[in-house]
Amino acid sequence: MTFSIHGLAVARGIAIGRAVLVASTRLDVAHYFIEASQVAAEINRVRDARDAVVAEIHRLQTSIAQMGPKDTPQELTALLDVHLMLLQDEELSNGVRHWIKDRLYNAEWALTTQLEVVARQFDEMEDEYLRERKADLEQITEKVLRAMRGVSSPLVQPLGRHDRKKSQQDLLLDDTVDVPLILIAHDLSPSDMLQFKQSVFAGFITDVGGKTSHTAIVARSLDIPAVVGARLSSHLIRQDDWVVIDGDAGVVVVDPSPIILAEYGFKQRQGELQRGRLMRLLHTPAVTMDGQKVELLANIEMPEDAESALKAGAVGVGLFRSEFLFMGRHGKLPNEEEQFQAYKRAVEGMQGLPVTIRTVDVGADKPLDETLRDDAHLNPALGLRAIRWSLADPAMFLTQLRAILRAAAFGQVHLLIPMLVHASEIRQTMALIDHARVQLDNRGVAYGPIKVGAMIEIPAAALTLKVFLKYFDFLSIGTNDLIQYTLAIDRADESVAHLYDPMHPAVLRLVANTIEQGRAQGKPVSVCGEMAGDTSMTRLLLGMGLRSFSMHPAQILAIKQEVLRADTEKLGPWAEQVMQDDEPSKRIIKKA
């Protein structure tokens, strides 16, 4: 039966494929397709791992039997029996075999897929005792996965054998391995998203997450259709269901009828044609109708993203979120050399164009490691994140600063500091930058000149620009956080996502004021939050005087199209009027 789920549109486009449900905790499991010739070996891999776990349980049972009856833990004995029973369960092993043989999933993927299928059956059981056996099932799966680690398998492989551009007709006929796959998870962390870059999935859906959560941001940078905040999707969608993601509307259609499928297939092709048309603007300079030059920069997460920035026609990197080098490393942070190499790769990748490297901005919805998620503090978004974290650990911060300064010897580097708000933080930061230079001098290591900029992403910063303009060479407005902190809306919380309004008059005033004051002092101002890549905001930002936009590479050409059609002489007075309005969003929609 066809039904739809409404969530938040985060990454545009249409994806059509089969659902792959993955427990959020098992995203680190490799997902790749095997060759038909590897089926038997892969089935053996699961069987051997399972046998090893069974043998381990038998050993445990023997040692328990050797204890006196008084010392025998009854509960443990019963638990081991249950584990043995589950390990030998036919449904589990037949299911795993099916995913390997018929779908060519690798062993780990097949096992976790079947786990999800069986776990759901447990969820639906009336009997509480049986329902609770789901936890045992998860435990034994974990054990088998661990046993399989001994029999190593390749990491996530680049794109599987499915062809994302298959026609709808083909999709309907082809029911086997060559269909796109859509990942469904309760939640995905930003670092999970990085793994996604090399994975087999053509789109994803999560139950939770806000529009400018970092998971959504990385999804946009991957340029694959995605919907977040789709509440119960991981419960309502079953393994292998056909699903359509409408990333523009934030809608998920489950089990679509052939007519619906055909409609979305049409929309998908239209989207591709539209992208093709935009490609014609690649070499056109971004200049408005009245001759104003506009700088279109890229936001990147990894040095390798420089390639897509260049391909999209970016004239530089306006925001390199360096924290992605620090995440998912189980507490072992990258040292100076590793960081230097990464920054240098980004700088060289941009072939002489400027690269703005933001110092590490972890915390809030970007924990260093999932296991270190900051639940201990009541409100991590207001806690020790970004520059606060860096200043709390000067040795770590100096390491990063030295690495960035060294990379500046290889090209134009701008240094960007996140989340500043106090004059004292600014002074401390400046002192540490000087100190990093002295350290490099003392070591006789070469480094290059840098411009230093501040992110304006806290209302208090936007209201005290004088001190920022005194110390910094440029400003970059982080609208994602500026909106979050101005409106008191957690950007990662889907339950208040409808109140996260980039066009709230207070937000617009803070943005306009920052642009105006920066320009008045002759200091460049850029916007690097999601607002910069939102075509419905381009004319307003141009009208406010903004001439530098930094966004995901995939958005650059669409924004360029808006720039080419704009006349800033007219947009200036219009923007003034919009900002006077009680509900500017209504005006923008009317005008657009």
The residue among 282, 286, 354 whose CA lies nearest residue 317 is 354
Q: Phi/psi at 521 (nearest 5 deg)?
A: -95, 5
Shortest Å distance, C-beta 515 to ligand PEP: 15
Alpha carbons 59 and 65: distance in angstroms, whole number: 10
Beta bridge partners of 245: 15, 252
In the list 225, 529, 533, 545, the residue contacting ligand PEP (rule: CB under 6 A) is: 529
Alpha carbons 511 and 508: distance in angstroms, whole number: 5
* Cβ proximity to ligand PEP, 160 vs 529, nearer residue: 529
DSSP3 helix / strand / coil % (the chain, rounded to 5) = 55, 15, 30
Q: What pairing do the DSSP bridges indicate for beta strands 251-254 and 242-246?
A: antiparallel
Q: Which of Mg ion, ligand PEP, none does residue 528 bind (CB under 5 to 8 Å by kind)?
A: ligand PEP
DSSP-derived letter for residue 207 is S
Residue 301 touches ligand PEP, criterion: CB under 6 A: no
Q: How far is CA 298 from CA 168, 357, 477, 582, in A?
A: 33, 12, 14, 33
| Residue 309 near residue 51, CB atoms below 8 Å | no
Total of residues contacting ligand PEP (CB under 6 A): 11
The residue among 573, 583, 509 whose CA lies nearest residue 543 is 573
Binding mask 201-230 for ligand PEP (x = CB under 6 A): ----------------x-------------
Residue 192 touches Mg ion, criterion: CB under 5 A: no
Alpha carbons 180 and 163: distance in angstroms, whole number: 7
Q: How many CB atoms within 10 Å of residue 533?
A: 26
Task: Find the part of the chain contacting ligand PEP (CB under 6 A) among 171-179, 376-384, 433-441, 477-485.
Answer: 477-485
Q: How many CB atoms within 10 Å of residue 198?
A: 13
* Cβ proximity to ligand PEP, 319 vs 537, nearer residue: 319
- Which of 31, 162, 528, 552 is labelled catalytic? 528
The residue among 318, 343, 346 whose CA lies nearest residue 555 is 318
Applying the rule CB under 6 A, the residues between 152 and 171 that interact with ligand PEP are: none
Shortest Å distance, C-beta 357 to ligand PEP: 13
* Cβ proximity to ligand PEP, 137 vs 368, nearer residue: 368
Shortest Å distance, C-beta 513 to Mg ion: 18
In the list 479, 517, 538, 568, the residue contacting ligand PEP (rule: CB under 6 A) is: 479
* Cβ proximity to Mg ion, 162 vs 220, nearer residue: 220
Shortest Å distance, C-beta 477 to ligand PEP: 7
| Residue 572 near residue 545, CB atoms below 8 Å | yes
Q: Catalytic: 414? A: no
Residue 457 touches Mg ion, criterion: CB under 5 A: yes
* Cβ proximity to Mg ion, 268 vs 476, nearer residue: 476
Which pair of tokens denotes residue 94?
A: 């037949």
Binding mask 347-386 for ligand PEP (x = CB under 6 A): --------------x-------------------------
Task: Find the part of the chain contacting Mg ion (CB under 5 A) among 187-195, 299-307, 451-459, 494-502.
Answer: 451-459
* Cβ proximity to ligand PEP, 117 vs 507, nearer residue: 507
Q: Which of ligand PEP, Mg ion, none does residue 553 bind (CB under 5 to 8 Å by kind)?
A: none
In the list 321, 414, 552, 560, the residue contacting ligand PEP (rule: CB under 6 A) is: 321
Q: Which amino acid is at 591?
A: K
Alpha carbons 536 and 584: distance in angstroms, whole number: 12
Q: Which of ligand PEP, Mg ion, none does residue 479 bind (CB under 5 to 8 Å by kind)?
A: ligand PEP
* Cβ proximity to Mg ion, 350 vs 387, nearer residue: 387
The residue among 429, 544, 405 whose CA lies nearest residue 477 is 544
Task: Find the part of the chain contacting ligand PEP (CB under 6 A) among 84-92, 288-296, 395-403, 479-487.
Answer: 479-487
| Residue 213 near residue 228, CB atoms below 8 Å | yes
| Residue 28 near residue 20, CB atoms below 8 Å | no
In the list 481, 494, 530, 534, the residue contacting Mg ion (rule: CB under 5 A) is: 481
Place of tokens 């329902």: 131
In the list 481, 490, 494, 534, the residue contacting ligand PEP (rule: CB under 6 A) is: 481
Residue 493 touches ligand PEP, criterion: CB under 6 A: no
Shortest Å distance, C-beta 491 to ligand PEP: 8
Q: Which amino acid is at 294?
A: V
Shortest Å distance, C-beta 217 to ligand PEP: 6
Q: Catalytic: 214? A: yes
Beta bridge partners of 525: 475
What is the side-by-side order of every strand in the sheet holding 201-206?
3-6, 251-254, 242-246, 14-21, 181-185, 201-206, 226-228, 8-11
Residue 301 touches Mg ion, criterion: CB under 5 A: no
Q: Give the SS3 label for residue 159.
A: coil
Residue 457 touches ligand PEP, criterion: CB under 6 A: yes
Helices (H), strands (E): how many in the chain?
23, 16
Alpha carbons 180 and 164: distance in angstroms, whole number: 6
Beta bridge partners of 455: 476
Q: Which of Mg ion, ligand PEP, none does residue 494 bind (CB under 5 to 8 Å by kind)?
A: none
Residue 478 touches Mg ion, criterion: CB under 5 A: yes
In the list 316, 363, 478, 543, the residue contacting ligand PEP (rule: CB under 6 A) is: 478
Helix (H) or strand (E) holding 100: helix 90-103
The DSSP secondary structure of 478-516, one letter per residue, reads: -HHHHHHHHHT--TT-GGGGGG--TT-HHHHHHHHHHHH
Shortest Å distance, C-beta 455 to ligand PEP: 7
- Which of 83, 214, 504, 552 is labelled catalytic? 214
Alpha carbons 159 and 201: distance in angstroms, whole number: 7
* Cβ proximity to ligand PEP, 34 vs 362, nearer residue: 362
Shortest Å distance, C-beta 188 to ligand PEP: 16
* Cβ proximity to ligand PEP, 18 vs 547, nearer residue: 547
For ligand PEP, the binding residues (CB under 6 A) are 217, 319, 321, 361, 457, 478-481, 528-529
Residues involved in catalysis: 214, 528
For Mg ion, the binding residues (CB under 5 A) are 457, 478, 481
